[in-house]
Amino acid sequence: MTVLPHEEKHRRRGQPPPFLASLSRLAGTMLSVLLTMIGLLAITFIIGRVMPIDPVLAVVGERASPEIYEATRKAMGLDRPIIVQFGLYLRDIFSGDLGTSTLTARPVTEDIARVFPATLELATIATLIGTLLGVPMGVLAAVKQGRLVDQIIRLVGLFGYSMPIFWLGLMGLLVFYGILGWVSGPGRIDVYYDGIVPSVTGMILVDSLLAGERDIFWNAVSHIVLPASILGYYSLAYISRMTRSFMLEQLGQEYIITARVKGLSEWAVIWRHAARNVLVPLITVIALSYANLLEGSVLTEVIFAWPGIGSYITTALLSADMNAVMGGTIVVGAVFIGINLFSDLLYKLVDPRAR
């Protein structure tokens, strides 16, 4: 068998060839994701069993006869041992069956496919606002450490980080919608525009542009700008704080001193040297912020009547619709895992040392 030179070199060093090493790392990552997902499913399964809600009564109603109740209980597999129930639960989940919502009488997968794009659209715009403003603010605060600009940026971040987001939402509606009238009220679009634009992606801004409906697009912008700005402010506070911390650490390194001694401009020192090294940990920070907005925008969606997954899970929980609650929790958890995995891959692309 012919051995390639680079494979022979790795063999002499006692290391596996690069292909096998990459395959091993990929297998380890996939195993970690699978175990994490199974752990998430186990937690949701246990929560569904310990909640003081009878899933059979949620289906048949309180006036059902004992015969119907028992037949439904057997059909749902609740008469079997708990480990068998968990196995059936895993089988249904991995086959894409999240059950049927007792509130909407539709499959939970269809409901989530309908509401999740609204949350995705809101969280994406909020993350863009937080990143495009938070990163420059954090860099500026680090460069001007201890000065008035630094104090103002830190105060702005502290206010956004400590204020309850539901209070910011209510104040935003009161000031910018109720008093000034600069933005539209709750909801994604005005009622008379509802149903005009065909749903392609589920995101009203994208779909209205694809349909050529500019009036609906700008109406949707006027609705999303306030909740997205409030969530973006919350994201900005976190991102600017972490960026400042990362930049302060880099600005104190010896290579920064060397670059300044060589006569490089301050712009080159900050953006071409320090900021490039900050980019690697900042990717993880932005990814976590995005994931937190996807799963944590419940209060904002409720306040602004935003038909996203947060308000869907809240309504289902208040209606004791456990299939919808557990299905929504699983989807949010899976998205969180996926974003973390994507950030790890992006981390390796940006920093060759991590490959």
* Three-state SS sequence of 133-183: HHHHHHHHHHHCCCCHHHHHHHHHHHHHHHCCHHHHHHHHHHHHHHHCCCC
pLDDT, residue 278, reads 84
pLDDT, residue 5, reads 52
Q: Looking at the structure, do residues 142 and 191 belong to the same domain, yes or no?
A: yes
Q: Looking at the structure, do residues 223 and 321 belong to the same domain, yes or no?
A: yes
pLDDT, residue 1, reads 44
Mean pLDDT of 274-303: 83
pLDDT, residue 236, reads 92
Q: Judge whether 9 lies within some domain.
A: no
Q: Looking at the structure, do residues 175 and 66 belong to the same domain, yes or no?
A: no
Q: Judge whether 165 lies within some domain.
A: yes
- For 246-274, what is each residue's pLDDT tens digit? 888 888 778 887 877 887 777 878 887 78
Q: Judge whether 104 lies within some domain.
A: no
pLDDT, residue 131, reads 92
Q: Which residue has the higher pLDDT, 251 or 109?
A: 109
Q: Looking at the structure, do residues 155 and 31 belong to the same domain, yes or no?
A: no
Of the CA atoms within 13 Å of residue 1, those in its CB half-sphere come to 4
Mean pLDDT of 328-352: 79
- Tell me the residue range of the domain where 86 lies: 17-94
Q: Looking at the structure, do residues 124 and 269 belong to the same domain, yes or no?
A: yes
Q: Looking at the structure, do residues 75 and 137 belong to the same domain, yes or no?
A: no
Q: Judge whether 8 lies within some domain.
A: no
pLDDT surpasses 80 at 313:
yes
Structurally, the chain folds into a number of domains equal to 2
Q: Looking at the structure, do residues 171 and 262 belong to the same domain, yes or no?
A: yes
- For 181-225, what is each residue's pLDDT tens digit? 888 888 888 888 888 888 888 899 999 999 888 999 999 999 999
pLDDT, residue 165, reads 84
For the chain, the average pLDDT equals 82
Q: Looking at the structure, do residues 341 and 231 belong to the same domain, yes or no?
A: yes
Q: Looking at the structure, do residues 280 and 209 belong to the same domain, yes or no?
A: yes
Q: Judge whether 227 lies within some domain.
A: yes
Listed residue (145, 140, 147, 153) closest to 267, CA to CA: 140
Q: Looking at the structure, do residues 36 and 184 belong to the same domain, yes or no?
A: no
- To 5 degrees, how large is the angle CA 12–CA 15–CA 17? 95
pLDDT, residue 75, reads 76
**Confidence class of residue 232 from pLDDT cuts 50, 70 and 90?**
very high
Q: Looking at the structure, do residues 284 and 139 belong to the same domain, yes or no?
A: yes
- Specify the length of the chain in residues: 355
pLDDT, residue 202, reads 87
Find the CATH number of the domain harbouring 127. Answer: 1.10.3720.10
Q: Judge whether 75 lies within some domain.
A: yes
Q: Looking at the structure, do residues 128 and 84 belong to the same domain, yes or no?
A: no
Lowest mean pLDDT among 139-148, 291-300, 305-314, 324-333: 291-300
Q: Judge whether 340 lies within some domain.
A: yes
pLDDT, residue 76, reads 73
**Confidence class of residue 18 from pLDDT cuts 50, 70 and 90?**
low
Which of 54-63, 206-215, 272-281 has the largest mean confidence? 206-215
Phi/psi at 222 (5° precision)? -65, -25
Q: Judge whether 38 lies within some domain.
A: yes
